[in-house]
Structure 1
Amino acid sequence: MITLRGLEKHYGKTSALSQVDLTIRDGEFLAILGPSGCGKTTLLRLLAGFMKPTAGSIQFGETEVANSKYCSKPENRNIGMVFQSFALWPHMTVEEHIRFSLKNHRFAKKRTAAEQADRVTEVLRLVGMESFRKRYPTALSGGQQQRVALARAIAPEPDILLMDEPLSALDAELRISMRKEIKQIHKKLAATIIYVTHDQGEALAMADRVLVMQHGQIEQTAAPEEIYQHPKTPFVATFVGKANLVAGTWEENHFIPAGSHYRWQDNGVSEQLKQQQFYPVRPEEWQLLPPDAEGLKGEVIISQFQGTERHYVIRVDGQEYQASLPISVPAWREGDLLTLQVKGMETAVSREKILFR
């Protein structure tokens, strides 16, 4: 188990991390998600031992590995690291990379030459690179190089695997393929993985738990489904899933959108969003209805074909909302007038009208 207490990192007057408290369970896949400059890579570097915190402490199990006065070296921590840039040596073959980590990782098991050879083969099979063992990095594709970097990191069987945006240099199709590879490897290894990314798709698809950061602080930590369906803060709502924040007024368990008399029921909106008088609506949660229907009146500003769905930008009283509908639904054209309603809320609206007659 990894425990962070009051962790801070300052660069002069600039605060990269502020009061980070976190517990990471053994064998957990934790994704640290956030925009550039939010502090996620700083947090990973502190966990790796590349630098010392300004305040607070880091504990691996029962051992404190870092505080404001002390920082154990990376080689004294049983970790593996996968970098964004792959960091492969051009003069070593694929199998030499794996053997190097087995020989030089301080916490690697003592193995005979035959046992090392077996472990090299085992790891290369795990990442699907056994047939490339004699190749040099320059003869490999980007995805293959990333597999080698991953194999090198897991070969010594570290307790903790740290991954710093490892897929960002790959094209979209390769990233999706590597997501599956990494998730399958995690199941087989049962090691703790801490995975830094700015890609919400990666975080939601792979992680057991997602930590969302902004301005060096934790906004929310929860399972992917919880993060997506029940964001706690306006930032989490808009960063993960691109929710529309509809302004209005909360009255107990009902929400009245600004400039309307419609009442939407509470679907699990957080107290923080309620206090700021917002109702989050995901793009796929909108219904687009004829202009004479009940709901928010708007105009289609942008209509974009995206293969399996269409994306719309709809202007309502000067506010722009994003909506996504399946391609099976008849398309709306730019300039069309329509009504916006949240799915499942039309019955609530009708019931409220009856009650208030």
Structure 2
Amino acid sequence: MTAEIRQLNKFFGNFQALKDINLETSEGEFIAILGPSGCGKTTLLRLLAGFSAPSGGEIYLDGEAVASKTMNVPPEKRNLNMVFQSFALWPHMNIEDHIRFALKNHRYMEKLNSKEMNERIDEILRIVGLEQFKHRLPGELSGGQKQRVSLARAIAPAPRLLLMDEPLSNLDAELRIEMRREIQKIHKITKASIVYVTHDQGEALAMADRIIVMNDGKIEQIGTPEEIYESPETSFVATFVGKANLFKGAWKDEVFKPEGTQLAWRQNNVTGSFIKDGIFPLRPEQIRLTKAEEEKLQGRIMTKQFQGKEYHYSLDVNGRTVIVHMPINESYEIGETVSIEPDIIWGWDKKAPEN
């Protein structure tokens, strides 16, 4: 299913939750809506589902208008399903009955006879790996198994659009990684279009075809995971996805002079907003630490965290905190003063060019 959103706005009283949202999705695409709490991502998902109507703008599904300021097609008349953060399972129904209920009551699901119904239930249980648990109640399942039931119920009637509202946020770290793989597998098998809301950048980067980064009710950037991570267009995207450090200073052509220094850092793919604001973004893994040298930018190590293959450092650099990730074979100690420079692949010089 394709979706098109035009100039979408949503007010709750005097509060504007969504501000002129424009978006187009392709058939079978996995879209992640990424942003902090309160940015409007769940409100956008609820408007797509039909749970509420927009205050302005329009929504089209497969080219057909389903929502505007004056009309709102209800959820049951849109060929979609939703997976909730809270699982939303019925405690008195076993897994098999959850799937059976979805197959019987979805408007767009063709009617099945008893044999076809049982075959479809078994097929769905195989997809989510719950064949041996079909007669268990939700109270007898682990968190990961409950989320699989929620997914199974959603995909059983083969909806053309699958909406997911932070479905993994209630699971522990290991289960979240496992369920990412399950959701990717389900997307490949069902070929349904997916719109997935999350505040976890790892989930979005790992699973999505494209990511919509939202902040304060607006879209900050749309792009592939690689584009969002490697070429952020705003300071918010740079710091929210990948936790970039933002160094202040001045740009001249492709050369950046850090504030209070005569250094020159060269970079040729920084977007216009950073140049305009006098900012040089560097992610923790794009910074190199060396023994302190007077002609370089210096900082004092405040914390050091062992992370298996690398150390994570926080440094005080002229009163600002800078986060750096370094290989395990390059170790520094808390309290040590070190020099900071962009990784060599980014290009740098010791002194700024003459004006």
| TM-score, scaled to structure 2 | 0.97
The alignment's C-alpha RMSD in Å is: 1.5
Whether 1:45 aligns to 2:46 is yes
Whether 1:342 aligns to 2:354 is no
Partner residue, 1:289: 290
Q: Give the CA deviation at 1:303.
A: 1.3
* Equivalent residues of 1:265, 1:345 under 8 A apart: no
Q: Residues of 2 paired with 1:341 and 1:138: CA distance?
A: 54
Partner residue, 1:59: 60
Of 210-219 and 290-299, more deviation after overlay is shown by 290-299
State the SS of the aligned residue for 1:261.
Answer: coil
Partner residue, 1:25: 26
Q: Residues of 2 paired with 1:333 and 1:49: CA distance?
A: 55
State the SS of the aligned residue for 2:145.
Answer: helix
Partner residue, 1:272: 273
Q: Residues of 2 paired with 1:10 and 1:189: CA distance?
A: 35
State the SS of the aligned residue for 2:36.
Answer: coil
Partner residue, 1:97: 98
Aligned residue type for 1:198: H
Q: Give the CA deviation at 1:293.
A: 6.8
Q: Give the CA deviation at 1:200.
A: 0.5
State the SS of the aligned residue for 2:221.
Answer: strand
1:170-249 equivalences in 2 (<5 Å): 170-249=171-250
Aligned residue type for 2:332: W
Aligned residue type for 1:341: E
Q: 1:345 to 1:294 in 2, by over 3 A?
A: farther
Q: Give the CA deviation at 1:266.
A: 1.8
* Equivalent residues of 1:33, 1:40 under 8 A apart: yes
Which aligned runs of 4 or more in structure 1 are off by greater than 6 angstroms? none
Of 267-276 and 2-11, more deviation after overlay is shown by 267-276
State the SS of the aligned residue for 1:153.
Answer: helix
Q: Residues of 2 paired with 1:77 and 1:25: CA distance?
A: 17
| TM-score, scaled to structure 1 | 0.96
Per-residue Cα deviation, 1:95-142 (whole angstroms, up to 9, x for no partner): 110011000000012221111111111111001011100111000000
State the SS of the aligned residue for 2:82.
Answer: strand
* Equivalent residues of 2:267, 2:346 under 8 A apart: no
State the SS of the aligned residue for 2:348.
Answer: helix
State the SS of the aligned residue for 1:324.
Answer: strand
Aligned residue type for 2:115: A
Q: 1:186 to 1:261 in 2, by over 3 A?
A: same
Q: Residues of 1 paired with 2:143 and 2:308: CA distance?
A: 27
Q: Residues of 2 paired with 1:181 and 1:267: CA distance?
A: 39
Q: Residues of 2 paired with 1:70 and 1:348: CA distance?
A: 57
Q: Give the CA deviation at 1:40.
A: 0.2
State the SS of the aligned residue for 1:166.
Answer: coil
Whether 1:70 aligns to 2:71 is yes
Partner residue, 1:168: 169
Per-residue Cα deviation, 1:148-203 (whole angstroms, up to 9, x for no partner): 00000000000000000000000010000000110111111111000000000000
Which structure 2 segments of 5+ residues have no match? Answer: none
Q: Residues of 1 paired with 2:142 and 2:235: CA distance?
A: 40
